[in-house]
Amino acid sequence: MTVATGEHVLDLACPPDDVTAVHTFLSSVWAHEPELSLEDRMALELALVELASNVIEHGAGGRPVSCSLRMDVGPDEVTVSLSDDGVPVLVDPSAAHLPDALAEGGRGLALVQMVVDDLRYERVDDRNRWVVRRGRR
Amino acid sequence: MDIVVHEATDDTAVLECSGRLNMVSAGAFRETVAKVVEGGRSRLVVELSGVEFMDSSGLGALVGCLKTARQAGGDLRLAAPSEQVQMVLKLSNIDKILRTYPDGDAAVTNWA
């Protein structure tokens, strides 16, 4: 039996692209995946925009960063991998935690962790690779 | 993101926001709030019903603007957050420092 799975791909070059391209991409994914619940869509949009924001903010040491996002919408879960040619990320995503209430930054990865079931980071060759997985609800 | 500033009273302004409060718009939001506070209104209501998306960059901007308002003797309140914004406020525990009201009219009075 073949299970229908939707695969969606977005390639970014930042600049000039910014996270607006991620929002636009996700709007088209949702249009193709009408069965995905509002809760899942809100969680995934937050997670992916946070990760893309990190990529754009930390960049590639002064040169433009290119970033490729691949989203697989399966019947039971959604998996997204995000690969970029930016500088290595010196962070342990599993240790991300919310900062003090009055902090103005540092919440991104902690929020991602709260809305996905699995968040992984690895450096492969000269690229950063983030993989998130969320069971559909 | 669009921001419409309503000058409610001599010291109170309602900022009616729509669109996305994220990395792209956070800077412009901070600048708008700074101008309103410099203009003499430091009691701020950020009306969020038209904000379809907010992330940690947006949260950071709200916290920064809360500090700006308090330093000028005022405060910052949120009104009418959408479902997505409520989710982010709750996850981040920011509802502990940013008071949320059901609508702009409820938020604009009783500052004490």
Q: State pLDDT tens for residues B65-110.
A: 999 999 999 999 999 999 999 999 999 999 889 999 999 888 998 8
CA distance B7 to chain A (A): 26
Residue A45 forms part of a structural domain = yes
In chain B, where the domains are located:
2-105
pLDDT, position A90: 82
Q: A122, A132 in Cβ contact below 8 A?
A: no
Instruction: Say if pTM beats, i.e. exceeds, 0.90.
Output: yes
Q: Which of A85, A96, A95, A94 is nearest to A123 (CA)?
A: A85
Residue A25 forms part of a structural domain = yes
Residue A1 forms part of a structural domain = no
Q: State pLDDT tens for residues B9-53.
A: 999 999 999 999 999 999 999 999 999 999 999 999 999 999 999
ipTM score for this prediction: 0.93
Which residue in this structure is represented by tokens 């926001």?
B17
Contacts of A98 in chain B (CB under 8 A): 92-93
Structurally, chain A folds into a number of domains equal to 1
The reply to whether CATH 3.40.980.10 applies to domain B2-105 is: no
Contacts of A19 in chain B (CB under 8 A): 22-24
CA distance B66 to chain A (A): 9
d(CA A94, CA A109): 9
Task: Report the CATH number that the domain containing residue A40 is assigned in CATH.
Answer: 3.30.565.10
CA distance A73 to chain B (A): 21
Check if B22 contacts A (Cβ < 8 Å).
yes
Q: Which domain holds residue A15?
A: 6-135
Q: Which two tokens stand for residue B101?
A: 């009201």
> What phi and psi, each to the nearest 5 degrees, are found at residue B79?
-135, 140
